Chains A and B, each alone.
Chain A
Amino acid sequence: MEMNLHKDLRVSLSGVELKNPVIPASGCFGYGYGMAEYYDINLLGSFSFKGTTREARFGNPLPRVAETPAGMINSVGLQNPGIDNVIAYELPKMRECYSGPVIANISGFSIDEYVECCAKIDREPQVEIIELNVSCPNVHGGGMSFGTGCDSVAEVVGEVKKVITKPLYVKLSPNVTDIASIAEAAVKSGADGISLINTLLGMRIDIKTRKPVIANVMGGFSGDAIFPVAVRMVYQVAKRCPGIPIMGGGGVSSARGVIEMMMAGATAVQVGAANLRDPYICKKIIENLPEEMEKLGISSLKDIIGIV
């Protein structure tokens, strides 16, 4: 039935054409091939692969996850095989089951690390966008996250831009007082687009044991509960940075959520934690979008971007 509605789901991120705006967020989809065991992931607009660092990382001790009302907190600690292994082993496996554009999520603990990883991943043909995770602590900057200061964001973006050819999207941390100023600093330094929001810093305590639920004490809060915060921040950044494409995410778990996020100013929409509860959520959202658009009198998703 949806097929007969002739809805236009296509969007474009810095010249990268996506057949729909739905993008599984980094850390919730591995390197794609694991999810391809459950459905044909070629129906996705794109996907952002697991946050990758220069060195292989095992990540944090267990427990790494805690439940919250309408969400969850995780502290995986950027477990990944390292950039060279990702290029040598993960991306070839990904290519066997996915032919669309891929977003490479890169993390680093120093400017050098970001630059080296981005330069390497930029040469991979299937990688069409680089998404810079600036929420990691800067080991040379006293451990403060790169993403919490305009100057540190500007510096890392400027250095990475010198070594890459693909569009650069900066994934912003919401744990700041003025997200729009940080987005603006990234854009002034050469970012092609903005991705937001990363997780909110959160914590749960097991009141029986009187200890934090997560071994690392605090973690990233995600899921439906953070949706209104994400919509607000996407809206603020869209207003401050007109013409800059945004990948909006945070608590999206439905076609209506995708539409709301686009109305706030997102060109494409990332779906994160919802994948962990329902591995088929992105497929369901994509299949449901035409029907929801019909109800709302939308013929092309491009028409609603930033309409609020």
Chain B
Amino acid sequence: MVENIEYIFKVIENRALNAKTRVMRLQGDGTIFTAPGQFINIKVEGKFLRRPISVCDYSNDTVTILYDVVGDGTAEMSEWECGREVNILAPLGNGFDINTDSRRPLLLGGGIGIAPLYRLAKDLIAQGKEPCVILGFNSSREVCWADQFRAAGAETYIATVSGEEGTKGFVTDVPACKDPEKDYFYACGPMPMLRALCEGLEIPGEISLEARMACGFGVCMCCSLATKDGAKRICKDGPVFKKEELIWK
């Protein structure tokens, strides 16, 4: 079956959440997304490659992304004004599996990795599950989107490495992370955090990975990952992988 993945969406919101992270809302057909944790690949004029960004939320006619301004491409995006048309490839990637037997899942996000957990939390709550969200940041200056998680009805904790807000340390230092009632975990964030969770948590789970990508839709082999089931593409077979698929060297 042939399916179009190229769309023109329109910027309807683009503002700073703090000095590092921004939120952008785009108007377009949000019904194309099939699971939380998918991503879009955004064309930036003057840049050869697109910018792959996780979907934070979507509605019938919008998609929301969170992004850090880390280089020229995201700096350019931060200048986009409302009304601007943006060429995106979507929906990309597999997304999280929300059809597990879990009743009380942990959702663990580090830095900008919190973004895909938001829609995930909303979908899990809609299923009658009780997600517990733990958001990790370097400092209080980087904390964002916690209010949105709380407003969605998720029990939400914060950890900061600096100790300025919430628990001092990493997401794994938050007591809820070790709560024996928790029966599954979903995580997205820096690799050391994901590794610590996969190796430290006894419960089953899945994690969303990122990598430098060229295409984002499965043909260039720039984001290959060696798994227990052989080589997988983070963009197409992922970005979400089950804990048991992964090999940590």
Contact = CB atoms under 8 A, between A and B. Distances in A.
Tier of interface size on chain A: 35 or more
Given A67-B47, A224-B48, A279-B215, A76 B2 contact: no
A28 interface: yes
Q: Which one of A62, A70, A273 has the highest number of Cβ atoms from chain B below 10 Å of its Cβ?
A: A62
A280 B2 CA distance: 12
B49 A72 contact: yes
Given A30-B218, A65-B214, A72 B48 contact: yes
Contacts of A28: 219-220
B218 to A, nearest CB: 5
Nearest to A215: B212
B222 interface: yes
Contacts of A213: 212
A76 B212 contact: no
A62 B2 contact: no
A65 B49 CA distance: 10
B48 A76 contact: no
Nearest to A57: B231
B223 A62 contact: yes
B219 A275 contact: yes
A141 interface: no
Contact of A279 (B211, B217, B224): B217
Interface string B41-75: 00100011110000000000000000000000000
Contacts of A30: 218-219
A6 interface: no
A278 B215 CA distance: 8
A39 interface: yes
Contacts of A279: 5-6, 89, 215, 217, 219
Nearest to A40: B2
Contacts, number: 96
Interface residues of B, number: 29
Interface string B146-188: 0000000000000000000000000000000000000000000
Contact of B219 (A35, A68, A71): A35
Contacts of A58: 224, 226, 231
A223 B5 contact: no
Nearest to B219: A30
Given A28-B219, A79-B231, A277-B49, A63 B212 contact: yes
Interface in B191-225: 211-215, 217-225
Nearest to A41: B2
Interface in B64-95: 89
Given A34-B218, A276-B219, 14 more contacts: A27-B221, A30-B219, A38-B3, A62-B211, A62-B222, A62-B223, A65-B49, A65-B222, A67-B48, A68-B48, A71-B48, A72-B48, A76-B224, A277-B43
20 contacts: A27-B220, A30-B218, A30-B219, A34-B218, A38-B5, A39-B2, A39-B4, A58-B226, A62-B211, A63-B211, A64-B221, A64-B223, A65-B213, A65-B220, A65-B222, A70-B48, A74-B214, A76-B222, A273-B48, A275-B215
Interface of B: 1-6, 43, 47-50, 89, 211-215, 217-226, 231, 236
The 9 closest A-B pairs by CB, nearest first: A276-B215, A65-B222, A63-B212, A64-B222, A30-B219, A276-B214, A79-B221, A65-B214, A76-B221
